[in-house]
Structure 1
Amino acid sequence: MRQIPGCGNWRIRYEQKNSGIAILRAETCDAEAVLPEELLGLPVTELGDYALAARDQGTRGAELEMIGRRTDQEAEWSNRRMRSLRLPCGIRRIGNYAFMGAFYMERFEFCDEPVEWGVSPFMNCMALHEIIVNRPGEDQGGLAKICGETDRELDVQIRDASGMRARLLFPEYAEIWEENTPARQFDHTTDGAGYPYHHVFRDRRLHWKDYDGLWEKSRERGGIEDVLTRLAWFRLRWPEGLEEQRRRAYLEYVTENRERLMRWVLENGDGTDLSRLLEIVVYTPQQLREGCDFARESGEVQSLAVLLSRLRGEQPAGRRKRFEL
């Protein structure tokens, strides 16, 4: 098997199509996998059916092995163990069941360019919950495809050349089919706040007004305060396309749940997120002190410094002492 150096470790079967490379099968031992943008000087433009699925379907093609840096020499060559996958820009087709059975894949990153998507590429990707969308131009429908493929909660980051433009939460839901014997049919129902969010797209494109328009009905649901608090915070923190009326509604909710939100930011964010939170949401001195205690217990030194700085600013300066000779 031919060996070439690369950015990761891959065993690849491929064929050349026109002026590009179609990957028929690719298997990695990397937990954080990055698919190459080029092979043998040609751009990678296509992923075949079952190309990165957990099980090898035996598709034939020319073979090569890409050798990159390996942190774990004993790691198993299996896409089943892949934790994250980043696709290169330039891919124009993703085949049927392309990632099927990648049970432990939590994070998927791709370029939102015109792509022909096959059937159920994410079937049985049970851990998938974080999506990174690199969007060089207009919405090309990739996010709509992914949201329509899964009923699980998705934390979506939309980025362009300047950085993160938006972060969105698509809550989970469940589809339930119950047999209706007298009618000789199955009744279909959905449970959870996520169904309208996962299917909010029009013509495979996301419209901010439609997404934010789901808020009031979602807020009526009980027992999902953690989910709604994060959803509202993401829209306030990255307010792409956010109208003033919706901004006030989100702000009202996070203010009601500000202690819950601060704890989440301290556990999952950084000093920048915390600083932005303190700019958007008003906290009492007592709540700031409680946040300091939590940050101190968690060892979050940067967050503790931000909270202490804000706490000093909230406290009255007191009477200044004067010394006259």
Structure 2
Amino acid sequence: MRQIPGCGNWRIRYEQKNSGIAILRAETCDAEAVLPEELLGLPVTELGDYALAARDHGGGGEELELTGRRTDREAEWSNRRMHSLRLPCGIRRIGNYAFMGAFYMERFEFCDEPVEWGVSPFMNCMALHEIIVNRPGEDQGGLAKICGETDRELDVQIRDASGTRARLLFPEYAEIWEENTPARQFDHTTDGAGYPYHHVFRNRRLHWKDYDGLWEKSRERGGIEDVLTRLAWFRLRWPEGLEEQRRQSYLEYVTENRERLMRWVLENGDGTDLSRLLEIVAYTPQQLKEGCDFARESGAVQSLAVLLSGLRGEQPMGRRKRFEL
């Protein structure tokens, strides 16, 4: 097998198609896997059927091994062990069952270009949760495909050249089929708030008004306060396409759940997120002190500094009315 240096470690079977490379099979030992943009000077444009599935389904093609820096020489060569995967931006076709059985893949990053998606590429990707969409232009429908493929909660970041443009939460749901024996049929129901969010797309395009229009009905559900608090916070923190009426409703909800939200931001965000939170949501001095205690216990030095500034009045604590003559 021919070996060449690369940015990661891959064992690849490929063939050349129309001045591009079609990857028929790729296997890695990297937990954080990045598929190369080019091979042998040609762009990678296609992933074949089962190309990065956990099990090799065979096939032809030429063989190539990319050798990058390996920190764990004993790591298993198995896509089943991938924790994250980033695809090249030149991909124009993703084959049937392309990532099937990548059980530990939590994070998937791709460029939202015109792509031909095959059947059920994410089948049995049971841990998939975080989606990074690099969007250089208009919505090309990639996110709609992924949301329609899974019933699990998805935390989605939409990025452009300037950074994160939007962050959206698509809650989980479950489809339930129950046999109705007398009628000799199956009754279908859904459980959870997520089904309409996963299917909110029109012609595979995301419409912000439709997404926000699901909020009031979702808010009526009990027992999912953690989910709704994060969903509302993401829309306030990255208000792409957010109308004022919806913004007020989201703000009302996160204000009611502001202590829960601060704890989540301290555990999962950074100083910038926390600063933005204190600008949007009003906190009492006692709540800020409790946040300081939590930040000290968890060793979040940057967050602690932001909270202390808020206590001293150097950081705006929510939107305040000002009267100037």
Fold match (TM-score > 0.5): yes
Deviations 1:127-163 (A, max 9, x none): 0000000000000000000000000000000000111
User: How big is the shift at 1:316?
Assistant: 14
Deviations 1:190-225 (A, max 9, x none): 000000000000000000000000000000000000
Instruction: Quickly say closer, same or farther: Cα 1:28–1:247, change in 2 above 3 A.
Output: same
User: How big is the shift at 1:18?
Assistant: 1.0
Instruction: Quickly say closer, same or farther: Cα 1:90–1:322, change in 2 above 3 A.
Output: closer
Instruction: Quickly say closer, same or farther: Cα 1:292–1:60, change in 2 above 3 A.
Output: same
Identity value in percent: 95
Instruction: Quickly say closer, same or farther: Cα 1:197–1:262, change in 2 above 3 A.
Output: same
8 Å CA contact 1:285–1:314 kept in 2: the answer is: no
Structure 2: distance between partners of 1:203 and 1:141: 8
User: How big is the shift at 1:324?
Assistant: 33
Instruction: Quickly say closer, same or farther: Cα 1:316–1:205, change in 2 above 3 A.
Output: closer
Q: Which runs of 5+ in 1 are unaligned?
A: none
Query: SS where residue 223 of structure 2 aligns?
Result: coil
Deviations 1:30-73 (A, max 9, x none): 00000000000000000000000000001111000000011111
Instruction: Quickly say closer, same or farther: Cα 1:321–1:190, change in 2 above 3 A.
Output: closer
Instruction: Quickly say closer, same or farther: Cα 1:246–1:321, change in 2 above 3 A.
Output: closer
Aligned to 1:166: 166
Instruction: Quickly say closer, same or farther: Cα 1:79–1:323, change in 2 above 3 A.
Output: closer
Instruction: Quickly say closer, same or farther: Cα 1:322–1:219, change in 2 above 3 A.
Output: closer
CA RMSD of aligned residues (A): 4.6
User: How big is the shift at 1:76?
Assistant: 0.2
Structure 1 moving runs of 4+ over 2 Å: 314-325
Deviations 1:91-144 (A, max 9, x none): 000000000000000000000000000000000000000000000000000000
Size of the alignment, in residue pairs?
Answer: 325
Instruction: Quickly say closer, same or farther: Cα 1:284–1:180, change in 2 above 3 A.
Output: same
8 Å CA contact 2:166–2:239 kept in 1: the answer is: yes
8 Å CA contact 1:141–1:205 kept in 2: the answer is: yes
Instruction: Quickly say closer, same or farther: Cα 1:11–1:293, change in 2 above 3 A.
Output: same
Structure 1: distance between partners of 2:324 and 2:287: 39
Deviations 1:207-259 (A, max 9, x none): 00000000000000000000000000000000000000000000000000000
Structure 1: distance between partners of 2:9 and 2:20: 21
Instruction: Quickly say closer, same or farther: Cα 1:91–1:307, change in 2 above 3 A.
Output: same
Structure 2: distance between partners of 1:315 and 1:299: 21
Instruction: Quickly say closer, same or farther: Cα 1:58–1:245, change in 2 above 3 A.
Output: same
TM-score by length of 2: 0.96
User: How big is the shift at 1:314?
Assistant: 7.9
Structure 2: distance between partners of 1:246 and 1:315: 26
TM-score by length of 1: 0.96
Structure 1 stretch displaced more, 311-320 or 294-303: 311-320
Structure 2: distance between partners of 1:316 and 1:201: 37
User: How big is the shift at 1:274?
Assistant: 0.2
Structure 1: distance between partners of 2:22 and 2:296: 52
8 Å CA contact 1:285–1:315 kept in 2: the answer is: no
Q: Which runs of 5+ in 2 are unaligned?
A: none
Aligned to 1:66: 66
Aligned to 1:43: 43
Aligned to 2:18: 18
User: How big is the shift at 1:322?
Assistant: 29
User: How big is the shift at 1:313?
Assistant: 1.1
Structure 1: distance between partners of 2:192 and 2:314: 40
User: How big is the shift at 1:315?
Assistant: 12
Instruction: Quickly say closer, same or farther: Cα 1:15–1:289, change in 2 above 3 A.
Output: same
Query: SS where residue 146 of structure 1 aligns?
Result: helix
Structure 2: distance between partners of 1:175 and 1:324: 56
User: How big is the shift at 1:25?
Assistant: 0.1
Instruction: Quickly say closer, same or farther: Cα 1:113–1:314, change in 2 above 3 A.
Output: closer
Instruction: Quickly say closer, same or farther: Cα 1:320–1:108, change in 2 above 3 A.
Output: closer
8 Å CA contact 2:280–2:318 kept in 1: the answer is: no
